[in-house]
Structure 1
Amino acid sequence: MAKGFGQCVNLNCAVILLPVLRRLLRGAAEKYDRNNVFPFKKAVEFHKIIGLAVFCSVFGHLFFHYLNFAFKSEISVLSFGNAAYITGGILTLAMALIFSGAHYTVRRANYEIFWSTHHFYTVFYLALLAHAPHFWQWLLIPVFLFIQEKKSRAATRGQRKIFVESAEFIPPVLNINFSPEKFEEFDFRGGQYLYMLVPAISEREWHPFSMSSAYGDLEASGYVSLHIRVQEPGSWTYRLKEYFRLIAGQGGDKPQDPFLANTLHHYDAAGNKKPGLHSGPDGKPLLLIDGPYSSPTQVYSSYRDIILVGSGIGLTPSASILRSVLRHKWKKGYYPETIRFCWILRANEIDSFHWFIELLADLSERVASDRLSGAIDDSHYLELNIYVTGTDNSDLDVSTKSPRSKDAASGREKTGSTSISNREIHIDPNILRKKLLNPEIDSKDQPEVQIAETAAPNRMEDIWIWRGRPNWDTVFNSTQESIINRRKARGDHIALVQDESEVGVCFCGHPVIGKDLKKRCAKFTKTNDQMIKFTLNAEVF
């Protein structure tokens, strides 16, 4: 048994290197997988699964060897020698450090711990090579590809010249807008992420961040946006915020005082003043960028219907996707045609996400204007649901709420797409914020409120505000029913509607919500008889 688990260790420790070959996987996805047939964009998730297999294999190998030692110690020492127990202990300790630092709570609270402990993989592999004489045969090809990946990154990482256009801090979110010197060198899509290094803070630490900008924004606005949640004092993000406070030349009586640096500039070779700053007071670049890289949520454009879910600072991929679709893709006739967006927000964090509140107001206003002008037609459906928790009566249990009836779904689809008269369309973010601070309607009443013919007090165009957590059965059922009703309206046979056979559920946020969404995807895929599959695409780092 110990030998069998040992072979499993060899296999899994060789395979686990493949998902971290980000550049190789990105190239393969762009060249060979334009239709998202292969799960290249779920490499991190696969890496975690293999990591768990490594843990179980090492534990099994260790357990049975110690059983051998307990009952036949002399034979075990003669067979394997003392060195095997020493190297085995070293690699087990290294694995324990790696796994401890990789847990979600550690990674979220202090990314530096995750980054530092994960680099004990060098100790782990050296100990494993010494422990298992034949492991090099398993490792040969993966480690060759891994070294090539490392060399490629070292040669090109941070080579692009980056200019920071502005930096704004409104607790606890730091917004950085940057632009590459050559736009064509930074080709990105909605939902992708990048790695950022700030030499003034650390010469070695690369931190991943999702971009909140949309595909097309770089050409339109001239910059790419990042929204970064600042962690506790002493953390990397806190030092980043304080560094840009220094760049802005704005002190503060308290560390949480907001600041804005929007006049950053440089001079070109001809002495002309240009927007954006490249170097800091120490002469080092303000930012170095590596990426962008693919993520699971990036596949949203391959679905006709999507359920988009965001919570916490995991909202940034949602912002990017909404911007991409509502500002650009819908006008060009690209998928997805229908979007049901769900944002779970705590009441005490409303002001932290002022930027996103303003974005939702702007996007809903744009969609309403586009409908009025005929730029988009009735086939495009948008529903922006905001669920505010942490208010009075927000903890109502709505998980047992029955799915809506087919008639209700039909009526909801009819009233969900706003009918716009000839009037000026304007959504005031301040009024939206006021509604968020005091949501009037419980989320358990969502089906009845959305099918009502009268104007709902919690609605502003395509934006719906609810008190309490979402009832996922309602959201999934309404999506399923709308597809069925669309098929009936066109008279299409189920077997002929290939582009309606799968709904993309794109999520970035807390793992607890991700697990709930995974259960709902399995439940509604299994129980419906309309050949509609719900596929979860969850973003993790």
Structure 2
Amino acid sequence: MADWWLNEGPKYIIFLLWMTINVILFATTYVNYNTDKKYFYLRKYLKYAICSRRVRRLMDKNITFHRYIGYMICLATAIHVYAHCFNFLYFLVSYKAGDPLLNTLNQLNTSLNPIRFSNADLTTEVLKTAPGITGIIITLALILMYASSTEVIRRSYFEIFWYAHHLFVIFFIGLCIHAVIGVIKVQVNLDTHDPDYCYNKRPWGPPNNLNCSIPIFKRTSTPQVWKWVIGPIVLYIFERIVRFVRSKQKVVISKVINHPSKVLEIQMQKRGFQSVAGQYVFINCPSIARFEWHPFTLTSAPGDDYFSVHDVFLYEVAICIGAGIGVTPFASILKSLWYKQRQSDAGPSKTKKVYFFWICPDSNAFEWFAELLKSLEREMLSHDLGDFLEYNIYLTRGLSDKQTKHIMLRETDSEAVDAITGLQQKTHYGRPRWDQIFSDLASTHSGSDLGVFFCGPKALSSVLHKECNKNTSANTRFFYNKENF
């Protein structure tokens, strides 16, 4: 259990803390509506409390947490809409209930009941209120944002996802004005009309009843939503301003390289720009789409005089795993690890060993990245640090007859390099046996902290995550980190 908690604990602690705050707010509001005297007559209309008794079970994980919050907002919205639809139904049914108290309340001019006629149309009455109109707008915006967030839409029609997600602006505006003209009213003259005593002492008011004046109802206090959203809105506006200012700064393209494997490398320079390993930048091509900015991972590292399109330094052993195009972030990370290792003036590096695994479907995908690995090989050998980086390349598809003959011919070559990649360490064919790999790593580095960094498909991420939890012990700990790419 302790091993599982090491990787999973922080995520669930944050989520449970957020859920606890929501439950506390829900519970206090529920108790307030259910017990406060100023809502006494409103409860008579709705039979149940405004909040149904049955509804009680309501970081680099930022995207995961964002999704959890989105699911919770959708659930809370569904409950909120469901509850208010029934509330309006109860208001309408009160005219036909035959209850003397409800009949008396309906005849008051204070409009505790927002529906003023017994033959009113329920849909029309909802649309006549500001909360009804804004509620529909908010709900439609939420439905469109949620529907366009499915993986199919994100992968195949990213523009739809991107623009639909900006409906959050309408969502927040509607949310802030949703309760400006609310339908919930409270009794304000409890000193002259105690509902616990007066509700069955009708008729109220002089001259028949001097102890119980006619109850007076007014709308609740000013909306409180803005207090909860003002902080995030200010941060978002600030971030957009910073992004706009940076987008106007000059960027010089110093070199463009068209690699054989359909990979385009663009080397750029920007004054005052300092990159971080694994970082990405937003790039806009106005001739293609003026308002679209897409993220591209940097393949250069801090220390390069250009930049091109996790925190690995905290662990004694770093295990970097890239699948397919997911290898891109590791170009800068591997460079940075090597720079830190060889710069003795910056102090000794905590990372003593780096394992790099790259799983790829065919040999063509190796071409652009192989040059980086070759240069790292040469530099490490020249500094007598050949064992600092150990890389394992896995080719998951079979070889063609031509490639097989080429390998057979190279086997007789005296040069001890791989026939496919030209690297000293040989290429593996087939898929990695992760259970055996992690078991060996745990044995080799017993008593160490190992940071696992992965970028690739979700299915493989799940496998690696389980292996980290399974092989973590009291002395040897695997910390799993996934790049959202």
* TM-score normalised by length of structure 2: 0.62
1:207-236 deviation line (CA, Å, top 9, x unaligned): 111101122122xxxx3222xxxxxxxxxx
Instruction: Give 1:61's aligned residue.
Output: 80
2:361 corresponds to which of 341, 346, 365: 346
Is residue 319 from structure 1 mapped to residue 319 from structure 2 by the alignment? no
Match among 229, 242, 246 for residue 152 of structure 1: 242
User: Structure 1 residues 201 and 335 mapped into 2: Cα distance closer, same or farther (>3 Å)?
Assistant: farther
Whole-Å separation in 2 of the counterparts to 1:73 and 1:342? 66
Q: 1:98 to 1:335 in 2, by over 3 A?
A: farther
Please give the alpha-carbon distance, in whole angstroms, between the structure 2 residues aligned to 1:72 and 1:516.
Answer: 54
Normalising by structure 1, what TM-score?
A: 0.57
| CA distance 1:523–1:91, change in 2 (3 Å) | farther
- Equivalent in 359, 364, 381 of residue 377 of structure 2: 364
Greater relative contact order structure (CA < 8 Å, 6+ sep):
1
- Equivalent residue pairs, number: 346
Query: Is the partner of 1:340 in helix, strand or coil?
Result: strand
Which residue pairs with 2:39 in the alignment? none
Asked if residue 432 in structure 1 is aligned to residue 420 in structure 2, the reply is: yes
User: In structure 2, what residue type is equivalent to 1:367?
Assistant: M
Q: Per-residue deviation at 1:362?
A: 3.1
The one-character-per-residue Cα deviations of 1:45-101 (angstroms, maximum 9, x if unpaired) are: 433332333233323333444565677765797499434344333222222322333
Summarize the Cα distance change of 1:432–1:334 in structure 2 as closer, same or farther, 3 Å threshold.
Answer: farther
Give the alignment of 1:30-41 within 5 angstroms.
41=60
| Structure 2 letter corresponding to 1:307 | I
Question: 2:87 and 2:337 mapped to 1: Cα distance?
Answer: 61
CA root-mean-square deviation: 3.4
1:519 aligned to which of 466, 472, 480:
466
Contact 2:421 2:427 in 1 (8 A): no
The question of whether the paired residues in 2 share the 8 Å contact of 1:388 and 1:467 is answered with: yes
Which of 79, 92, 117 aligns to 2:139? It is 92
Q: Which amino acid aligns with 1:208?
A: P
1:214–1:321 Cα contact (<8 Å) kept: yes
Match of 2:289 among 202, 206, 211: 202
Alpha-carbon distance between aligned partners in 1 of 2:86 and 2:437, rounded to the nearest angstrom: 52
Task: Find the counterpart in structure 2 of residue 334 from structure 1.
Answer: 349
Q: For 1:86 and 1:8, locate their aligned partners in 2 and report how far apart those are by CA, in whole Å.
A: 26
Kindly indicate whether residue 485 of structure 2 is the aligned counterpart of residue 538 of structure 1. no
Query: Which consecutive unaligned segments of at least 5 residues does structure 1 have?
Result: 13-38, 227-296, 393-423, 435-459, 488-499
CA distance in 2, matches of 1:159, 1:307: 37
Q: 1: distance between equivalents of 2:438 and 2:88?
A: 55
Between structure 1 and structure 2, the one with the greater Rg is: 2
CA distance in 1, matches of 2:468, 2:75: 28
Match of 1:481 in 2: 443
Give the fraction of aligned pairs with identical amino acids, expressed as a percent: 32
The 2-side partners of 1:209 and 1:318 are apart by 13
Letter in 2 for 1:107: R
> Are residues 345 and 135 of structure 1, via their aligned partners in 2, closer, same or farther at CA, if it must alter by over 3 Å?
same
> How far apart are residue 308 of structure 1 and its match?
0.7
Alignment of 1:116-135 (within 5 A): 116-132=163-179, 133-135=223-225
Distance (Å, rounded) in 1 between the aligned partners of 2:115 and 2:462: 48
Query: SS at 2:289's partner residue?
Result: coil
2:261 touches 2:367 (CA, 8 Å); kept in 1? no
Closer/same/farther in 2, CA of residues 162 and 476 from structure 1, 3 Å limit: same
Q: How many Å separate the matches in 2 of 1:337 and 1:425? A: 29
Match of 2:41 in 1: none
Taking a change above 3 Å as real, the CA distance of residues 61 and 368 of structure 1, as seen in their structure-2 partners, is: farther
Residue 166 of structure 1: SS of its match in structure 2? strand
1:115 is matched with: 162
Mapped to 1, the partners of 2:140 and 2:421 lie a distance apart of 50
- Counterpart contact for 1:330–1:337, Cα < 8 Å: no
Paired with 2:335 and 2:243, the residues of 1 have a C-alpha distance of 30
